[in-house]
Structures are given as C-alpha cells and as structure tokens.
C-alpha cells in the first residue's frame, strides 16, 4: 500500500509555524479520516491536525515541544488505494489505475496554504525540519529615527534574533548617538545578571503585532458616553447581552454608514471593507485573542449574544473556530471590568480602528429640565485610529454616532 506524509497545515491566515504539544496516537495505530492526531499551538490558539484519510500510522517524525513550519512532515500514513483515492491523494486514470496527486494535478494539495512553495525551493519533507518560534517578519519601530545601525551591528542582532525595538533603552556612545557593537555586546552581557524567563509564543505574537502597528501614525480621541439607557435596557432582558455587544453593534452600524472610516490606505487609494466584521478582545494567559463576529451590521443584538458568549468561552480556552479567526475591520476592547478609566488602545496592524470601553462611574450631569445636576453612569469611549485615514473631527463624529445609537439600545 502507498504511504503519504501528514504535513503541518496552515491553520490560520498568518500562521508560518506551530509547536507540537501532544501526539494523540502511537506508531502502528489504525486511524480514520479527519481524526485528530496532533494537538499543536500556534501563536494564537491551540488547534488540531487531522488525518488526510483512513489508514495506519507507520512512523512519527514530529516531537512534542518542537516547532514545525507549515508544510513540514509530522508523520506518515499508509492507506489503501481506495481510501487514498477518496481523499484525493491518488487520482484515478482512464485505465482504472491510480496515480499520486501532484502539484499540477486537478487537486492541489497546497491550495489551502496562504504561502505556496515555489518549484525552485527544495524542501526535504522527510528531514523533519524544525524551526525556532521566533518572529522575524515584523516592521520594528526604530530606536530613534536618527540612529544609524551599521551592517555589522544589524548582522549581530540578526544572529541573536533581536530587532531595533529591543534596544530602545540602550544609549549609544558613537557619533551622533549611534549604538556601537561594543555598546551592544556590553548590553547583552549585562542581561546575564538579571532574572530571565522565556516569552511565550502568545507574548511574542502580541509584541510583533504592536511593533507593526506603530509603524503608522496613530491618534486617539475620547468621548464620554452616558450608559444609563444601555444599562436599563440590559436589565430589562432575561438573557442579558454584555456591554461590549452594545458597543460592537453601534460601531458596526456607524461604520456601515461610511465604510471609508474603517478603510486602509494603500498607495494613493483608500480600500473600503467588503464586510463589517468586528473583533473583540478576550484576555487569555499571557496575552489577548481577538475573535471576530462576521457581518455585525446585519445581526441584531439578540442574534449576537449566544455566538459572542461561545466565542468568549472558546477564546479563553484558546480553541477558537476557524471562522472566528482572521482579520476583522475593527476591534472593541472592554477594560472597564479592570477598573480602568483611561487608556490608549492600539489597533491591530491590519485594522484602522480600535474602540476602548472604560469603566463606568457615577458622574453629576446637568439636566436642563430639572435645572440641576443628576447622577448618571458615564463611561469614556476611546477610539484609536490610523491618522492617515481619519482626522480628529471625523473620529469624533464616528464616536458621536456611536453615542447616539447607544441612547436607543432597543433599536440595536
């Protein structure tokens, strides 16, 4: 019977590698098609690798605790011609014989990969390639715009897997404040005197995301919003949506009225979003995940409640479904439960907008009808944005529209 490699799939749009956390079978085990056989950790979630077809596992290449690039062979499976043909691993010919599916066959084994391998790139799938879980594709913020890093210095930093942002607190002794190799080596040697722990893949991913976000000119505006109407509406319901859902729904409606505010500037054009997909921040161990609810402008508040609660639960378990991962056009983050009353949220690199909800506080508000101050629950809504797309006025009007929508929560 023919044998086929079980390769590391691309489990997310931006995934380049994953770490094997658990092997769920033993060599010689018989398995069914689409059976979970590896549990792997990407920089965003715990996910499973499944079998391509029914058969017998004949050898295991992968090891727990090691990282493997997308396309790397994790194990091999031996399957009958019938099972392999059903799975598309073998292609029936006109004569009734079967031939292995190649890259030029009707079924492309790499069609689901975000990055395809060129013919000139030779990869030995049997060599169990492993990679260190490092992030080297970011666009780091320079230490200072005027600082020059020599080629020798950059080479030494590349050897250690560092970028310029890691040296932000290092003063240079060279001409014009330049950081010399001697400064750098002294800095590295002094680090050995400090307690050090390994950063988790999640923390590395968050750090890389924030570095790339800060390559753009970001700005922030704040509007205080009275939350009494939202809180009263929520109290009247049997199934109570979270305050974050009210904000997501209001933001989605406001964006749908002028999609340019959530666009991206590419060259000399603003690219408008095709759908109003809104993410929300979920705190997990050593980081944050952002599940996405699709087409929020087309869903009612009640329709969003159950999917939202399920995504919060699965996000905390770091087991988000595929349809809830990937880029949205904006993110809502509610830091009110932590007692935070002011913050500067940073939008994801692929997004223009992030809306932060601060803790609500009783505040005296002037009531024209009563001619007196009355207590209201006020929360600051803070919008951070790419200043190339929006100016303060446009950002303020967007927040004012969100405010207006939240004063009529029964319409959400």
State yes or no: pLDDT of 372 exceeds 80: yes
Count of residues in the chain = 412
Mean pLDDT value across residues 77-99: 75
Structure tokens at 159: 């050897």
Average pLDDT, the chain: 83
Average pLDDT (116-136) is 43
- Model pLDDT, residue 207: 86
What's the alpha-carbon Rg for the chain, to the nearest Å?
26
Residue 101 pLDDT: 56
- Partners of residue 330 on adjacent β-strands: 278, 353
**pLDDT tens, position by position, 388-399:** 999 999 999 999
CA-to-CA dists, residue 258 to 76, 176, 253, angstroms: 52, 47, 9
Domain spanning 3-127: CATH 1.10.540.10: no
Domain ranges of the chain: 3-127, 151-196, 203-411
Provide the pLDDT for residue 105: 45
Burial of residue 43 (CB within 10 Å: 0-12, 13-18, 19+) is buried
Most confident of 33-42, 107-116, 298-307: 298-307
Average pLDDT over residues 249-265: 95
**Exposed, middle or buried by CB within 10 Å (0-12, 13-18, 19+), for 96?**
exposed
pLDDT of residue 48: 87
Mean pLDDT of 174-198: 83
* Residue 28 CA, distance from chain mean position: 37
Is 112 a residue whose pLDDT tops 90? no
Most confident of 53-57, 138-142, 186-190: 53-57
Specify the DSSP class assigned to residue 216: S
Q: Say which range, 134-148, 180-194, 256-270, 335-349, has the weakest mean pLDDT.
A: 134-148
Query: Do 26 and 46 contact (CB within 8 A), yes or no?
Result: no
What sections of 87-227 are H helices per DSSP? 151-159, 181-191, 201-213
Residue 204 has pLDDT above 90, yes or no: no
> Looking at the predicted structure, is the pLDDT value of residue 115 above 70?
no
More confident residue, 158 or 164: 158
Query: Whole-structure pTM over 0.75, yes or no?
Result: no
Share of the chain above pLDDT 90, in %: 47
Lowest-pLDDT range of 39-48, 133-142, 299-308: 133-142
Least confident of 77-81, 107-111, 159-163: 107-111
pLDDT of residue 111: 43
Higher pLDDT: 43 or 183? It is 183
- Whether the per-residue pLDDT at 369 is higher than 80: the answer is yes
pLDDT at 121 over 80: no
Assigned architecture for domain 151-196: Irregular (4.10)
Whether 151-196 and 203-411 share one fold: the answer is: no
Other C-beta atoms within 10 Å of 386: how many?
19
Region 106-117 average pLDDT? 41
- Overall CATH class of domain 203-411: alpha beta
Q: Quick one: average pLDDT of 232-249?
A: 95
Q: What is the mean pLDDT of residues 15-44?
A: 86
Of 179-188, 225-234, 253-262, the one with minimum mean pLDDT is: 179-188
Segment 227-236 shows an average pLDDT of: 96
pLDDT digits (tens, 9 = 90+) for 259-295: 999 999 888 899 999 999 999 999 988 788 999 999 9
pLDDT number for residue 59: 86
Residue 191 neighbours by CB distance under 10 Å: 9
Q: What is the band of 410 on the pLDDT scale with cuts at 50, 70, 90?
A: very high
- What is the average per-residue pLDDT within 222-251? 95
DSSP code for 373: E
Q: What tokens appear for 87 in the block? A: 């799975």
Q: Binning pLDDT at 50, 70 and 90, where does residue 226 land?
A: very high
Condensed to tens digits (0 to 9), the pLDDT of residues 30-49 reads 999 889 899 888 876 788 89
What value, to the nearest 5°, has the Cα angle with vertex 15 and ends 9 and 18? Answer: 65
The residue ranking higher by pLDDT, 304 or 139, is 304
Determine the pLDDT at residue 98. Answer: 57
Query: If you write DSSP's letter for every residue of 80-99 in order, what string do you get?
Result: -HHHHHHTTSEEE-TTS-EE
């Amino acid at each position: 019977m023919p044998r086929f490699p079980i390769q590391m799939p691309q489990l997310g749009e931006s995934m380049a590698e994953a770490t094997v956390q658990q092997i769920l079978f033993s060599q010689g085990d018989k398995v069914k098609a689409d059976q979970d056989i590896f549990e792997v950790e990407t920089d965003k979630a715990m996910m499973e690798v499944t079998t391509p077809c029914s058969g017998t596992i004949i050898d295991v290449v992968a090891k727990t605790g090691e990282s493997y690039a997308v396309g790397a062979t994790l194990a091999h499976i031996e399957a009958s011609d019938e099972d392999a043909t059903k799975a598309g691993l073998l292609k029936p010919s006109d004569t009734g014989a079967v031939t292995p599916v190649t890259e030029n066959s009707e079924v492309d084994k790499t069609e689901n990969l975000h990055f395809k391998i060129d013919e000139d790139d030779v990869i030995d799938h049997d060599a169990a390639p492993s990679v260190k879980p490092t992030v080297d594709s970011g666009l780091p913020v320079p230490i200072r715009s005027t600082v020059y890093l020599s080629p020798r210095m950059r080479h030494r930093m590349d050897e250690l897997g560092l970028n310029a942002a890691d040296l932000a607190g290092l003063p240079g002794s060279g001409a014009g404040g330049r950081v010399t190799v001697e400064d750098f080596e002294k800095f590295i040697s002094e680090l050995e005197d400090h307690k050090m722990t390994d950063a988790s893949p999640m923390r590395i991913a968050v750090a890389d995301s924030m570095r790339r976000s800060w390559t753009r000119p970001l700005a922030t505006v704040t509007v205080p919003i009275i939350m009494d109407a939202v809180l009263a509406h929520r109290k009247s319901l049997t199934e109570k949506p979270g305050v974050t859902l009210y904000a997501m729904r209001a933001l989605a409606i406001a964006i749908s009225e002028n999609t340019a505010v959530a666009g991206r500037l590419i060259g000399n054009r603003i690219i408008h979003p095709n759908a109003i997909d809104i993410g929300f921040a979920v705190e997990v161990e050593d980081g944050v995940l952002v599940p996405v609810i699709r087409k929020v402008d087309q869903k009612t508040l009640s329709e969003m409640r159950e999917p939202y609660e399920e995504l919060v639960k699965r996000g905390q378990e770091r087991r988000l479904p595929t349809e809830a991962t990937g880029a949205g056009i904006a993110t809502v983050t509610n830091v009110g439960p932590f007692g935070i009353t002011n913050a500067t949220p940073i939008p994801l690199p692929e997004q223009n907008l992030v809306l932060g909800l601060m803790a609500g506080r009783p505040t005296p508000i002037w009531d024209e009808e009563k001619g007196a101050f009355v207590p209201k629950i006020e929360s600051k809504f803070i919008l951070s944005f790419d200043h190339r797309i929006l100016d303060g006025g446009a950002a303020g009007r967007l927040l004012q529209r969100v405010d207006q929508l939240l004063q009529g929560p029964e319409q959400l």
